[in-house]
């Protein structure tokens, strides 16, 4: 039988790991934190210590030797795999993929009207190289056959609430078993064992899909006709109209967020900084990304609040790095930069960015019309105001 | 050898077919016309006579008995198929798919600043049921094998310009050969032979992809490492930043449009109509659609210019019709309706709609920031102003 482990101390958070002191903490228990945003654009691959942390529950401490992954819902019956089996029975694949929390940039929505959720800035998004077995290979090994009536693959974490209920989520079976879906059961992050905060010893990485479905400390997989019935799949992480409030919301009416819409933000300069007019130019940097493997094809940057636009230079991968991603498998973000002359005489700049993806989807202009009661999917143009001094 | 036919008269347009007189004509030669927009929301399946017509060149008159489709670029060498062979060698599939011209709603862009192109209103979009052979089946029959270095499938029409150059376009090979791509070589539209304006006797239907790649009067298919080198693939039907003008544009810097972004428009009421206050309610109708098989999951409608929003009722298919489309194969549009009380005392309404697709992509608020020199990809919120009279 499969054995699971959890925290045993009086404070379930007492076994949480140490974290980098530079992180901006949104919640200590559970731990939720984002890096200083300028760090994002300094590294195409976000160092693991700075990768945003989004925990829903205490971090479980898992003994890698006792660890077992259970797989249910396939015709030949349950399958149980040790970590060693997952590492040795299946070819190791690496995928560079950006993960983004559904609540990234929620603080922009809070400025319109208070929403329910952690007050994330622009850095609940990071990019890493993940290594592990393909979920497809593991499911085929466990007996998956095409043509079943199953439609979903459910994941349960080893992180549990005080009643013993684990974190859970699901993705579409089609994504899980696609040759081009690149879904991993990852045991490595940036070339090392997964850190405790990122799901040690095994997590799901679902490229192109909202962070919440990339279940960490993976304990169980269930192939099913149904979505996960977890709180987070059914009654959270869904988008609603700005006119929908907590009195009228019916979570059944909206689909669970899977692929995320096109996104971008300015990491440099930061809001409120003072630029020296003597420099003559301004350098603007940031990130852009889209869900579903859609590539970022253009980033427009305005220095005048959106009246006129310049096209940023895109950095699609590491300089001198790998070949461009195949179509619809562009899982990593695109860092970008614009160097432009300071508008003569300007005392203040309202810098704005907006990205375009390979389906030519664009970001909406303003936040209020996409405001929603959970503060998710916040992808309006990002705006930063800076001053110019005559020093 | 394959034989192709073209128009032979002095006026190459003299063999163009008759058209329905209710169409709004944007160009006679080549013929480009759209239906009255209220007809769109009256029919989930657009009657073929009202389906928008977008011709780049004269309509070729093709003898179905002499017709041959050439297929090039596969390892076993060229293949030639008669219409009868296409109809009998391959299973017939039907797909209900919406086609939209890249220039739909270009008139909204012209109101910002003049662009180059036909002045389409909101009706360069229509929905039909297409019947034909799957392109995948035909390519496999002709010798397609996975793992080739080809990346694109090029199409050439039998419609030619005065120099003999045919219309041409290409799509990604992955879309063409995918089991879930639903690309057809269609010989039927709404249960009848294709009309002359829609590609008789054979056209490509590429669900989820811009109209321009759905090549009509299909004469030749080339499986290739390269995109189509046609004008329409290389130097047209691409999106640019609003700051890019005809002096600075470099068509090589932008990808050819394939999947289109999320779109919606109001078909009822029309701009400028007068509603009777005595009715007490207003009924708003329209269409919504997104490219890439993404489903429309919500349409928000505002009666006050976008300050407050109501959620429209969605009609995903024919009433009492087929099961919902599988994930990412939602090729047909969604008609929608909102019945709402007239705001008390309002003398004028600014009705606005915006749609959300299954990747939670949304439409941009305004036109100017997505303005581009070719006037394509015009998908900002649609706005209609009506008056309310006290009669
Ligand atoms: Mo999240
Ligand atoms: Mo078009």
Q: Are the C-beta atoms of residues A338 and A283 closer than 8 Å to each other? A: yes
- How close B11 gets to chain A, by Cα (Å)? 38
The per-residue pLDDT for range B118-164, each reduced to its tens digit, is 999 999 999 999 999 999 999 999 999 998 899 999 999 999 999 99
* 8 Å CB contact of B309 and A369: yes
**pTM for the predicted model, two decimal places:** 0.96
Banded pLDDT at A279 (limits 50, 70, 90): confident
Element (H, E) at A306: none
Question: Which residues on neighbouring strands pair with residue B69, listed in sequence order?
Answer: B81
The whole-number pLDDT of residue B324 equals 80
The answer to whether A271 faces chain B, any CB pair under 8 Å, is no
The per-residue pLDDT for range B364-384, each reduced to its tens digit, is 999 999 999 999 999 999 999
The per-residue pLDDT for range B3-44, each reduced to its tens digit, is 445 545 589 999 999 999 999 999 999 999 999 999 999 999
Q: Which residues of B touch A260 (CB under 8 A)?
A: 359-360
Banded pLDDT at B322 (limits 50, 70, 90): low
- Give me the residues of B, 165-224, that contact A with CB < 8 A: 172, 174, 180
Percent of chain B with pLDDT strictly greater than 90:
92
The answer to whether A262 faces chain B, any CB pair under 8 Å, is yes
Res B308 pLDDT > 50: yes
* 8 Å CB contact of A258 and B358: yes
For residues A165-170, give the mean pLDDT: 98
The per-residue pLDDT for range B223-245, each reduced to its tens digit, is 999 999 999 999 999 999 999 99
- Give me the residues of A, 10-69, that contact B with CB < 8 A: none
The per-residue pLDDT for range B172-200, each reduced to its tens digit, is 999 999 999 999 999 999 999 999 999 99
Question: Which residues on neighbouring strands pair with residue B301, listed in sequence order?
Answer: B310, B353
Res A7 pLDDT > 60: no
The whole-number pLDDT of residue B7 equals 46
Banded pLDDT at A3 (limits 50, 70, 90): very low
| Mean confidence (pLDDT) of chain B | 95
Of A133, A382, A214, A175, nearest to A292 (Cα)?
A175
Residue B252: DSSP 8-state: G
The whole-number pLDDT of residue B3 equals 46
The whole-number pLDDT of residue B390 equals 84
Strands B79-82 and B68-72: antiparallel
User: Residue A55 — φ and ψ, nearest 5°?
Assistant: -105, 140
The whole-number pLDDT of residue B10 equals 83
The whole-number pLDDT of residue A126 equals 98
Q: Which residues of A touch B260 (CB under 8 A)?
A: 359-360
Secondary structure (3-state) at B378: coil
Q: Are the C-beta atoms of residues A113 and A26 closer than 8 Å to each other? A: no
Q: What's the number of CA atoms in the CB half-sphere (13 Å) around residue B245?
A: 4
The whole-number pLDDT of residue B148 equals 86
Banded pLDDT at A247 (limits 50, 70, 90): very high
The whole-number pLDDT of residue A108 equals 97
* 8 Å CB contact of A259 and B360: yes
* 8 Å CB contact of A354 and B365: no
Of B69, B11, B68, B38, nearest to B270 (Cα)?
B38
For residues B318-345, give the mean pLDDT: 88
The whole-number pLDDT of residue A148 equals 86
* 8 Å CB contact of A365 and B364: yes
| Mean confidence (pLDDT) of chain A | 95
Q: How many residues does chain B have?
A: 391
**Tokens in use for A170?**
């699901």
The whole-number pLDDT of residue B253 equals 97
Our measurement of the distance from residue B196's CA atom to the centroid of its chain's CA atoms, rounded to an integer in Å, reads 17
Res A320 pLDDT > 80: no
Tell me which residue in B174, B261, B297 faces A361 most closely, judged by beta carbons.
Answer: B261
For residues B106-117, give the mean pLDDT: 94
- Alpha-helical runs (H) found in chain B: 37-42, 83-89, 106-112, 135-141, 173-177, 231-234
Tell me which residue in B292, B298, B306 faces A359 most closely, judged by beta carbons.
Answer: B292
Strands A334-341 and A218-224: unpaired
Sign of CA dihedral B240, B242, B246, B249: negative
Mutate to test the interface with A, among B181, B316, B343, B359 (most CBs of A within 10 A): B359
Banded pLDDT at A35 (limits 50, 70, 90): very high
Q: Are the C-beta atoms of residues B167 and B57 closer than 8 Å to each other? A: yes
Q: Collect all residues with Cβ–Cβ distance below 8 Å to B270 and sequence separation of at least 6.
A: B37, B38, B384
Q: Are the C-beta atoms of residues A103 and A375 closer than 8 Å to each other? A: yes
User: Residue B191 — φ and ψ, nearest 5°?
Assistant: 85, 0
The per-residue pLDDT for range A66-88, each reduced to its tens digit, is 999 999 999 999 999 999 999 99
Residue of A nearest to B209 (CA): A359
Strands A274-276 and A382-389: parallel
**Tokens in use for B184?**
């057809």
The per-residue pLDDT for range B72-81, each reduced to its tens digit, is 999 999 999 9
- Complex ipTM value: 0.95
* 8 Å CB contact of B360 and A298: no
* 8 Å CB contact of A361 and B365: no
Percent of chain A with pLDDT strictly greater than 70:
96
């Amino acid at each position: 039988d499969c054995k699971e482990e959890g925290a045993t101390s009086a404070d379930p958070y007492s076994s949480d790991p140490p974290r980098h002191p530079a992180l901006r903490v949104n919640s200590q228990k559970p731990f939720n934190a984002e890096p200083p945003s300028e760090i994002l654009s300094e590294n195409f691959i976000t160092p693991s210590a700075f990768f945003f942390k989004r925990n829903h529950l205490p971090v479980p401490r898992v003994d890698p030797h006792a660890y077992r992954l259970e797989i249910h819902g396939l015709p030949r019956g349950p399958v149980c795999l040790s970590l060693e089996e997952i590492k040795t029975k299946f070819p190791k694949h690496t995928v560079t993929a950006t993960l983004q929390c559904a609540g990234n940039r929620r603080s922009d929505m809070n400025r319109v009207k208070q929403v329910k959720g952690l007050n994330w800035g622009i850095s609940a998004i990071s990019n890493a190289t993940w290594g592990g077995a393909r979920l497809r290979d593991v499911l085929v090994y466990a007996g998956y056959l095409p043509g079943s009536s199953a439609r979903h693959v459910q994941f349960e974490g080893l992180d549990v609430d005080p009643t013993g209920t684990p974190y859970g989520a699901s993705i579409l079976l089609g994504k899980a078993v696609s040759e081009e879906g690149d879904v991993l059961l990852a045991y490595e992050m940036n070339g090392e064992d997964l850190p405790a905060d990122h799901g040690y010893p095994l997590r799901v990485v679902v490229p192109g899909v909202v962070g919440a479905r990339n279940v960490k400390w993976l304990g169980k997989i269930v192939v099913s006709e149904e979505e996960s019935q977890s709180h987070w799949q059914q009654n959270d992480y869904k988008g609603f109209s700005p006119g929908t409030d907590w009195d009228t919301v019916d979570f059944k009416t909206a689909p669970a967020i899977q692929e995320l819409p096109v996104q971008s933000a300015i990491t440099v300069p930061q809001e409120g900084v003072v630029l020296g007019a003597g420099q003559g130019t301004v350098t603007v940097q940031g990130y852009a990304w889209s869900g579903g493997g859609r590539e970022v094809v253009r980033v427009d940057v305005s220095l005048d609040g959106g009246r006129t636009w310049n096209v940023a230079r895109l950095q699609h991968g590491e300089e001198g790095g790998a070949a461009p991603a195949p179509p619809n498998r562009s899982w990593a973000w695109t860092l970008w930069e614009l160097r432009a002359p300071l508008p003569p005489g300007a005392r203040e700049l309202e810098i704005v960015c907006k990205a375009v993806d390979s389906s030519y989807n664009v970001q909406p202009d303003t936040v209020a019309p996409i405001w929603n009661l959970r503060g998710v999917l916040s992808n309006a143009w990002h705006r930063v105001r800076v001053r110019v001094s005559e020093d």
